[in-house]
Amino acid sequence: MERNNSTVVTEFILLGLTQSRDIQFLVFALILIFYLIILPGNILIILTIRSDPGLTAPLYFFLGNLAFLDASYSFIVVPRMLVDFFSEKKVISYPGCITQLFFLHFLGGGEFLLLVVMAFDRYMAICRPLHYSSVMNSRACYVMVLAQWLGGFVHSIIQVVLILRLPFCGPNQLDNFFCDVPQVIKLACTDTFVVEILMVFNSGLLSLVCFVGLLSSYAIVLCHIRKSSSEGKNKAISTCTTHVIIIFLMFGPAIFIYTRPFRALPADKVVSFFHTVIFPLLNPVIYTLRNQEVKFSMLKLLTRPIVC
């Protein structure tokens, strides 16, 4: 990688979420509690779906993958953030920053696409029930999940390649608690207008298009449900409502951060904190509270006697 300046940045200094020590300790305690819920919650969903023969429908297969993505996503930012609370100087190396950025968008992009797949699953199940079993077969589900992972990789690698081509010669302070595209790009020692536009198209426009498309598809599904008189009407409405809640929680922060020019706003850190720390916690909570089958299976798994 060619650098145009004599000084090359080898590390970035993270300014963190806040400079107040009292607030830092309070946030540390809250994050630790959240983190102790995130992993068990998502792992419990995965174990429940894999161990219960009654949860073999595509909906639960995708839900298991969503829980895996959330559990993996929680490893990208939170552990280092907890350690940094006790560090006087919060430093991350240039390769470490790029790696964190890559996995953040790899898993985040994959989750975006998985939500699209889950919306398609609900559309087929409710609006095209006669074709559901033939379209959403086991092979098709695995292909969709593979495409979701591939799509997340392509989305992320584009951003990494664009950033790797930028020269960094200082300053090297990131006004955040982790490495992300907007803050890193603004430290480049060159005009980044074109790169910012490409990033907005890659992340921002993708988020916005998926968000509008998902809301439109669920609007069609909910209209179809309201016109029907089937016995599973309430269950279908509950499932779709859950998915819509997740869509708002997932896409709202992403649209706020990536669909505008990369200019720092006071709310950026709060939105990023919600998106990287709080949101993964909400998936298992929302799904287990609103999905009776998963909740019942979890209770069976937790109360099952241990055989030595």
Average the pLDDT over 177-191 and give the result: 89
Distance of CA 194 to the CA centre of its chain: 26
Q: Could you read off the pLDDT of 252-295 as tens digits, one per residue?
A: 888 888 887 767 777 888 888 888 888 877 777 777 767 778 87
Statement: residue 230 has pLDDT above 50: yes
Q: Could you read off the pLDDT of 9-48 as tens digits, one per residue?
A: 889 999 888 777 788 888 888 888 888 887 888 888 888 8
9-13, 182-186, 222-226, 303-307: the lowest-pLDDT one: 303-307
Q: What are phi and psi of 18, to 5 degrees?
A: -155, 155
Average the pLDDT over 218-245 and give the result: 79
Q: Tell me the whole-structure pTM to 2 decimals.
A: 0.88
Amino acid present at 239? T
Task: Give residue 117's pLDDT.
Answer: 93
Helix (H) and strand (E) counts in the chain: 12, 3
End-to-end CA distance of the chain: 57
Average the pLDDT over 241-246 and give the result: 84
Closest by CA position to 298, among listed 40, 29, 3 = 40
**pLDDT band at residue 2 under the 50/70/90 scheme:** very low
Statement: residue 130 has pLDDT above 80: yes
Q: Which domains does the chain have, with CATH numbers?
A: 11-296 (1.20.1070.10)
Average the pLDDT over 223-243 and give the result: 77
**pLDDT band at residue 203 under the 50/70/90 scheme:** confident
Q: Are strands 91-93 and 11-14 parallel, antiparallel or unpaired?
A: antiparallel
1-10, 147-156, 222-231, 267-276: the lowest-pLDDT one: 1-10
Q: Give Cβ neighbours of residue 210 (< 8 Å, ≥ 6 apart).
A: 112, 113, 115, 116, 251
Task: Give residue 138's pLDDT.
Answer: 92
Task: Give residue 300's pLDDT.
Answer: 81
3 state SS of 173: strand
Task: Give residue 200's pLDDT.
Answer: 86
Task: Give residue 6's pLDDT.
Answer: 40
Q: Could you read off the pLDDT of 78-113 as tens digits, one per residue?
A: 888 888 888 878 899 999 999 999 999 999 999 989
Task: Give residue 1's pLDDT.
Answer: 42
71-75, 161-165, 270-274, 284-288: the lowest-pLDDT one: 284-288
Statement: residue 8 has pLDDT above 70: yes
Statement: residue 3 has pLDDT above 70: no
Report the 10 Å Cβ neighbour count for 149. Answer: 17
Statement: residue 5 has pLDDT above 70: no
Average pLDDT over the chain, rounded to whole? 85
Statement: residue 218 has pLDDT above 80: yes
